[in-house]
Structure 1
Amino acid sequence: MAIDQHKDIENGIEKGLDDLQKPLIQQAKCVDSEGDDVIVSEKNGSIWMVLISTLVAVCGSFEFGSCVGYSAPSQSAIRQDLKLSLPEYSMFGSIITIGAMIGATTSGKIADLIGRKGAMRTSSAFCITGWLLVYFSKEAWSLDIGRFSTGYGIGIFSFVVPIFIAEIAPKNLRGGLATLNQLMIVCGASTAYLLGTVVTWRTLALTGLLPCVFLLVGLFFIPESPRWLAKMGLQKEFELALRKLRGRDADVSQESADIQASIDALQYFPKARIFDLFNRKYTRAVIIGVGLMVFQQFGGINGIGFYASETFVAAGFSSGKLGTIAYAIIQVPITVVGAILMDKLGRRPLLMISASGTFLGSFLAGASFFLKGQGLLLEWVPALAVSGVLVYIASFSIGMGAVPWVIMSEIFPIHMKGLAGSLVVLVNWSGAWAVSYTFNFLMSWSSTGTFMIYAGFCALTVLFVVKIVPETKGKTLEQIQASINS
């Protein structure tokens, strides 16, 4: 009965919004954190504060990339300076993902309790503390604590930055602004790779402080998420934040009413429980969300990314710097291409193209190590290894990096998003830890075997997408969920 009542409310809202969409008035839809579409009048409005707020928030995304990219160019120097064994460095490289798992699972509570800006401040504090511990480290334990702290920070960032952007952006800008999150993660990692080739590992740690500083300063000048303020019952602050985002002269009365209506409608949904994830009507959505994250991680991205420099050395390069620089440069433009193609080709084709490319890249890298082991075509081995890794990272950047997160945000019903999203994020970071921790051990066992295992997971990804994953491009959230449950 309660669900039916909510549907009647939603239908009434949607009908009223449709009546408002007149051709002579410039309007756009925006999406709140729960996925509801609401109308934003852009007449006499301004987007500058939305753009500024997004640029401030994605400093957290850049920090995310900096933390993830740190270990690749610094591995040999840290091991040499601090005399770390392979297991000790593997723990340092992978413990960031353990911190991120915990950060991601607590991020929803933190963001709801102290706001989106408060969550970003908390995340920055953990990252700054972590980088300082790494910089001053003289033993393995302080390195690990520092790396864990930065991991906890980026675990929060991984949740709160895209949520904040979705809650402040109008629909006609939301797609482009949302891609800035992934793009800035890639830019952060690429910057760490490039700087790591010319500065010491301690100096590189200090550069990780800069995005946090910019973020903390910028947060003083941007508004809190209006959606969160309304949810907390802070009506005056909600109106002020919305007006600041849309411009002083913009008419925000309709958008304000729509946001408030969507919040009021949520009371008709039963509170989600963990066991609800196993309900038959949510099973396929959970399989899709969890499955995509499993294949994203067990395709080997964090092993290849965290230890790229050493992989190139193992393949026969005297130094991994050249390959690492190429790795860094190629990510950014390919990620931009993927963002453009996402709403043109669709999610499924982009995933299949991307997974096929990562299969080819892994196969080429594995073949290079096989040739090296057999003493065949040794002059071609280094180039083949680098080519394989670059094909892999380019293919991953165009689809498998961003699309699973987009689909995850689309397939779950409104009242299940928080709980299901936490599960999916936990699976993602758990897989990231498993791959990053085992990579060096697998390479010691068999370099060829390691990349062929990753190639196998990439091939299975294509089959999974073909058989299980629906196309979500151009569909409303209700249409997506109806197609999943049909």
Structure 2
Amino acid sequence: MANNRDVENGENCSREEIRAPLLPIAENGDNKESPLEKSFKDDKCMVYLSTFVAVCGSYAFGSCAGFSSPTQAAIRRDVNLSLAEYSLFGSILTFGAMIGAITSGKIADYIGRKGAMIVSSGFCTAGWLSIYFAQGPLLLDIGRLATGYGMGVFSYVVPVFIAELAPKDLRGALTTINQLMIVTGVSVSFIIGTLLTWRTLALIGIVPCGVLLLGLCIIPESPRWLAKQGKQKEFDASLRRLRGKGADISEEAAEIQDYIETLERLPKAKLLDLFQRRYLRSVTIGVGLMVCQQFGGINGICFYTSSIFESSGFPADVGTIIYAILQVSGAGLVLGCLLTGSSFYLKNNTLDQEHGLALDAAPALAVTGILVYIGAFSAGMGAVPWVVMSEIFPINIKGAAGSLATLVNWFGAWAVSYTFNFLMSWSSYGTFVLYATVNALAIVFVIKVVPETKGRTLEQIQTAVNAS
């Protein structure tokens, strides 16, 4: 993509009208900026605003995920739920998310990225209200299922929307904010959930949805989706709003349009089409990263943090609060699993007083390992699969492929959270060694299979993937 240059045209200029005023500037015969070019600056304010609005959906996602952990005792007491009924309430979230994942791509393709976020916000809001007014398990489960559906849609559409509107030099950083806001939402729910009633916490969950809905009235739709729909006037207006009035959008617009026209000549993709040779590498990358993310143990560790700390001999309340704070920092999945596994190995294999020092070290190793793990996940594997997924799929299969990848992600979330306690019963330290092995293989997968996307447009990424 060429460097940004500035023009005096209005917002609704055609591609030819945009190019025309640049001809006299090009005839200057040198590479220096003209006074006209210097008079404008690259305006990324709308990109930042659009990203902020979109990641309100990510924060809502985190609020949904973090709700059940600090509220378990109070909900069971107030609504008179058995442990089995509360387990259903907690786990039904992932089933709602799976349904959301299946439908998210189609919704985003048919009614737009903004439309999909509106639908998701509506489900989350309805779900929170159902939980707030619940007097028994039925409304609680319906509400949890609805918020799970909203999570499933958000998990796909937010990173895709940001990737499609961001300039290539900002795309990776802006898409990473998606994961940052998810873990921020989880952390805030963990912390304020210890201070407020669970019904009040449910009402607070509506706030990011409201901010998102208001913000969607201001920001533009994804220019790439508009181009795919053949809405030329809206496409030009959206891209110009995102790049600033003074920016030359002609080359970027032409590149997007040419790529869309090429894709429009291809047949509409169905689920089975994803396994065609020409799409196989991008699908392998997208789905493979989701497998690496989930089967590295994140949801087993996240859902059962308190019990891990208790089992190792570390105070659960203190550990959970530190966990919530450190979710937004970064550093070492494999190391975190090995440290935690070492803690349980020392605890299980040190049976006499001679090795009292090892027993004393076990709780510290456990809490260090968990915090290193969650920090590393938040900064790395938590964000990377969603960033790459938003970039790697050609736009004609983005709906179907995105739904498949998100479905795999949520299935992995359910599988890991369901099997965690069984694995811990089998071998506490073996569980974390297993997760460490998966994360080590994930590193190899990223090095060998995942391409570098930094500094490339989405169209250039597709070309690179197809060429390899």
Letter in 2 for 1:360: L
* CA distance in 2: counterparts of 1:332 and 1:71, whole angstroms: 20
1:360 aligns with 338
Contact 2:160–2:390 (8 Å) recurs in 1: no
Q: Please, which runs of 5 or more residues in structure 1 have no aligned partner? A: 1-15, 27-40, 339-353
Contact 2:178–2:383 (8 Å) recurs in 1: no
Instruction: Please identify, of 468-477 and 143-152, the stretch whose mean Cα deviation from structure 2 is larger.
Output: 468-477
How big is the alpha-carbon RMSD for the aligned residues of Structure 1 and Structure 2?
3.3
The Cα of 1:122 is off from its aligned counterpart by: 0.9
1:289 aligns with 286
* 2:317 maps to 1:321: yes
Q: Secondary structure of the residue that 2:398 maps to in structure 1? A: helix
Q: What do residues 392-420 of structure 1 show as CA deviations (whole Å, max 9, x unaligned)?
A: 21222232212233343454445443333
1:141 to 121, 138, 141: 138
Q: What do residues 83-137 of structure 1 show as CA deviations (whole Å, max 9, x unaligned)?
A: 4444333322222111111112211221222222221111111111111222233
1:204 to 201, 206, 217: 201
* CA distance in 1: counterparts of 2:450 and 2:220, whole angstroms: 36
Instruction: Please identify, of 154-163 and 197-206, the stretch whose mean Cα deviation from structure 2 is larger.
Output: 197-206
Q: Percent identity over the alignment?
A: 57
1:469 aligns with 449
* CA distance in 1: counterparts of 2:303 and 2:237, whole angstroms: 44
2:59 to 62, 87, 99: 62
Contact 1:137–1:143 (8 Å) recurs in 2: yes
Q: 1:443 to 1:146 in 2, by over 3 A?
A: farther
Q: What do residues 2-49 of structure 1 show as CA deviations (whole Å, max 9, x unaligned)?
A: xxxxxxxxxxxxxx9xx99995469xxxxxxxxxxxxxx995552212
Contact 2:334–2:436 (8 Å) recurs in 1: no
* 2:159 maps to 1:162: yes
Q: How many residues align?
A: 433
* 2:177 maps to 1:180: yes
2:4 aligns with none
Q: What do residues 292-348 of structure 1 show as CA deviations (whole Å, max 9, x unaligned)?
A: 322321221012112323432343345x221112112112132xxx8xxxxxxxxxx
* CA distance in 2: counterparts of 1:83 and 1:366, whole angstroms: 35
* CA distance in 1: counterparts of 2:350 and 2:149, whole angstroms: 39
* CA distance in 2: counterparts of 1:48 and 1:363, whole angstroms: 46
Letter in 2 for 1:322: V
Higher Rg of the two aligned structures: 2
2:221 to 221, 224, 227: 224
Instruction: Please identify, of 372-381 and 96-105, the stretch whose mean Cα deviation from structure 2 is larger.
Output: 372-381
Q: 1:356 to 1:105 in 2, by over 3 A?
A: same
Letter in 2 for 1:363: G
* CA distance in 1: counterparts of 2:221 and 2:39, whole angstroms: 20
1:432 aligns with 413
2:3 aligns with none
Q: Please, which runs of 5 or more residues in structure 2 have no aligned partner? A: 1-18
Letter in 2 for 1:469: V
Q: 1:79 to 1:315 in 2, by over 3 A?
A: farther
Contact 1:58–1:181 (8 Å) recurs in 2: yes
2:369 aligns with 388
Q: 1:290 to 1:226 in 2, by over 3 A?
A: closer
The Cα of 1:363 is off from its aligned counterpart by: 1.7
Q: Secondary structure of the residue that 2:213 maps to in structure 1? A: helix
Alignment of structure 1 residues 8-407 onto 2, 5 Å: 24=32, 43-318=40-315, 320-334=316-330, 354-364=332-342, 366-367=344-345, 370=348, 377=356, 379-407=360-388
